[in-house]
């Protein structure tokens, strides 16, 4: 292939194989493409079947504990924040704002994919709305004043007022209201997005648990009648329950206050945790559960069954659902024509999930004091392979580590990009194991003594369960083949 100078039109370089330089470059960067015979060209099909191996020595995950402290971060602090900064998952910028570093982005993108799957299952359609919202929009709903100091306000060059959206009821309702001749046949309509939200929190704290800039999934539903709106509300609550189940988080759905969002019915999804800022009550005898804010009278007896006792727990609010009725649709005139062709004002619901808060809350409740544990599905990487220390008795097994990675690439396409190789072979296996344990890879594979036996044996540590297994290559492939990776 010839490279032509666009100005002169003359050939400036002749490249025999356009792919090779890229592969060569990779060898010197974060990932290495492992394949048979490095002198061969990589065809597109081949590159799909090889496993990009991520080298721990090149991964950008700078530990930044020294930057923690009340001076930069407001109120301090909690286990998840400490662990996340220690592991180089996040880096503080200004109070309530963080850099999300590469491993964290991998985890959040996975979480977003799980959310997308669950929203798709209930008919959700993803869109993306502007974060910059005009004051007029917020004045129409009267929330420009009601939101007070939490609303981050700014002016453009024409001195017009705007806010950075903390939520999007106004924006989505005006969007839907602009559609010409919408029909009841389109309903229920469920629109959602996963975007950054901005709230000038009085006390940003606990790392990603209470930020001023954070990711939220917010969904808005439009229905033709109150009855179908309640059904939609139910189906979203069920989707939330499925989502938390898949993540292995034991959330409790509790009755909640509607706050400044307004509406008639509301539930929070609370993850029980000592540092949780909410308190909720659960009845020991019936299904009653509620945020303490909603139980004004005697908090010892259950208001539903009258016999059960209420147990109070602290929780982190990871999700919130609201049945809004016509509160916003009436103001913005979001109507649909019914079967008789008459316009009816839509019945609405809105449903939030704190994406960054869920990731941090999971780390908060699953981790030990020093070691991160993830919901398997959203761990940044699924597998870490530890080859032996250079110059050690087991050094001969290093080729087996490479071979293993190649086989993983060829036989388990579901794990592509999920395997890291801790190539810091100047360090002992013990030291690297400790690091792997701190980062919480669900599976750590040690290529050590056992790998030198006639039938090589690999030590596999399942960090989620704490189990250690000694497996042949086939056994290991069988185990890793069952890992759910998204
Ligand atoms: P809180 O009571 O914790 O301030 P909220 O009730 O004001 O939260 P909602 O308006 O219900 O929050 O927002 C939907 C979801 O967004 C919440 O359930 C939570 O998971 C997440 N969330 C809200 N505020 C923050 C924040 N400051 N940082 C991170 N996530 C947040
Ligand atoms: Mg809430």
Average pLDDT for consecutive 10-residue bins of the chain (486 residues)?
A: 46 41 36 46 55 88 71 64 95 95 98 98 98 98 96 98 98 96 94 98 94 98 96 98 98 88 85 96 94 82 91 97 96 96 96 98 97 98 96 91 91 94 96 96 96 94 96 97 93
92 located within any domain: no
What length is written for the chain? 486
Where are the strands (E) in 89-248, listed by range?
A: 90-92, 98-100, 124-126, 132-134, 152-155, 161-164, 189-198, 213-223
3-state DSSP call for residue 354?
Answer: strand
| Residue that terminates a domain, selected from 366, 400, 416 | 366
Q: Give the end-to-end CA distance of the chain in Å, rounded to a whole number.
A: 37
Give me the pLDDT at residue 301, please. 86
Instruction: Answer with the one of 314, 341, 366 that is the final residue of a domain.
Output: 366
72 in any annotated domain: no
Residue 94 located in a structural domain = no
d(CA 317, ligand 1 centre) in Å: 7
Please give the distance of CA 100 from its chain centroid, rounded to a whole number: 11
Q: Are 288 and 304 in contact (CB under 8 A)?
A: yes
Among protein residues, the one whose CA lies closest to atom 4 of ligand 1 = 210
Does 286 share its domain with 428? no
326 and 245 in one domain?
A: yes
Could you tell me if 281 and 398 lie in one domain? no
CA distance 252 to 294: 15
- Residue 53: the pLDDT is 73
Question: Are residue 322 and residue 182 in the same domain, yes or no?
Answer: yes
On whether both 339 and 473 belong to a single domain, the answer is no
Domain count, the chain: 2
Whole-number pLDDT of residue 403: 92
The pLDDT score that the predictor gives to residue 51 is: 63
270 CB within 6 A, ligand 1? no
What is the per-residue pLDDT for 17?
Answer: 42
Domain boundary among 366, 392, 425: 366
Q: Is 318 in the pocket of ligand 1 (CB under 6 A)?
A: yes
Q: Would the CB of 79 count as within 6 Å of ligand 1?
A: no
Instruction: Return the pLDDT at 169.
Output: 98
Rounded CA-CA distance 239/364 in Å is: 23
The domain of 136 spans 103-366
Rounded CA separation 166/150 (Å)? 8
pLDDT at 257: 85
- Ligand 1 touching residue 210 (CB < 6 A): yes
The pLDDT, as a whole number, for residue 52 is 74
In a domain, 127, yes or no: yes
If asked whether residues 149 and 212 sit together in one domain, one would say yes
Q: Which residues are CB-neighbours of 395 under 8 A, at least 6 positions away?
A: 388, 389
**Phi, psi at residue 205, to the nearest 5°?**
-165, 175
397: CATH: 3.40.50.800
Residue range 192-207, pLDDT digits in tens: 999 999 999 999 999 9
Q: Is the peptide bond before 192 cis (omega within 30 degrees of 0)?
A: no
**Is pTM, for the whole model, over 0.85?**
yes
């Amino acid at each position: 292939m010839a490279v032509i100078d666009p100005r002169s039109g003359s050939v400036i370089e002749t490249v025999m194989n356009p792919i090779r330089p890229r592969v060569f470059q990779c060898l010197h960067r974060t990932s290495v493409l492992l394949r048979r015979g490095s002198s061969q060209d990589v065809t597109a099909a081949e590159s799909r079947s090889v496993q990009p191996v991520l080298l721990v020595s090149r991964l950008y995950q700078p530990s930044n504990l020294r930057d923690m402290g009340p001076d930069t971060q407001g109120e301090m602090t909690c286990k998840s924040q400490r662990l996340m900064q220690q592991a180089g998952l996040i880096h503080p910028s200004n109070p309530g704002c963080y850099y999300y570093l590469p491993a964290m982005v991998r985890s959040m993108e996975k979480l977003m994919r799980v959310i997308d799957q669950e929203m798709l299952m209930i008919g959700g359609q993803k869109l993306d709305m502007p974060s910059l919202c005009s004051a007029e929009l917020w004045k129409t709903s009267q929330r420009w004043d009601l939101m007070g100091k939490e609303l981050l306000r700014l002016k453009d060059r024409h001195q017009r007022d705007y806010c950075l959206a903390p939520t999007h009821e106004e924006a989505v309702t005006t969007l839907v209201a602009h559609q010409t001749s919408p029909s009841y046949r389109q309903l229920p309509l469920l629109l959602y997005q996963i975007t950054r939200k901005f709230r000038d929190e009085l006390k940003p704290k606990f790392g990603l648990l209470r930020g001023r800039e954070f990711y939220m999934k917010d969904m808005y539903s439009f229905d033709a009648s109150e009855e179908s709106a309640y059904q939609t509300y139910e189906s979203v609550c069920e989707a939330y329950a499925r989502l938390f189940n898949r993540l292995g988080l034991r959330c409790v759905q509790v009755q909640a206050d509607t706050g400044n969002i307004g509406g008639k019915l509301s539930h929070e999804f609370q993850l029980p945790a000592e540092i949780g800022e909410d308190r909720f009550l659960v009845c020991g005898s019936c299904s009653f559960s509620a945020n303490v804010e909603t139980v004004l009278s005697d908090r010892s007896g259950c208001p539903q069954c009258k016999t059960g006792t209420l147990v109070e727990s602290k929780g982190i609010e990871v999700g919130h659902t609201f049945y809004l009725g016509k509160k916003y649709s009436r103001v913005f005139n979001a109507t649909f024509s019914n079967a008789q062709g008459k316009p009816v004002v839509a019945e609405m619901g809105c449903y939030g999930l704190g994406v960054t808060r869920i990731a941090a809350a999971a780390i908060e409740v699953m981790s030990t004091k020093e070691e991160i544990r993830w919901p398997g599905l959203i761990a940044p990487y699924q597998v870490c392979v530890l080859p032996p220390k250079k110059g050690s008795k087991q050094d001969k097994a290093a080729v087996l580590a490479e071979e293993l990675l190649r086989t993983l690439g060829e036989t388990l396409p579901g794990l592509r990009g999920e395997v890291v190789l801790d190539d810091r072979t100047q360090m002992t296996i013990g030291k690297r194991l400790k690091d792997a344990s701190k980062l919480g890879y669900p599976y750590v594979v040690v290529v050590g003594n056992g790998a030198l036996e006639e039938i090589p044996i690999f030590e596999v540590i399942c960090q989620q369960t704490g189990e250690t297994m000694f497996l042949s290559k086939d056994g290991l492939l069988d185990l890793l083949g069952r890992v759910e990776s998204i």
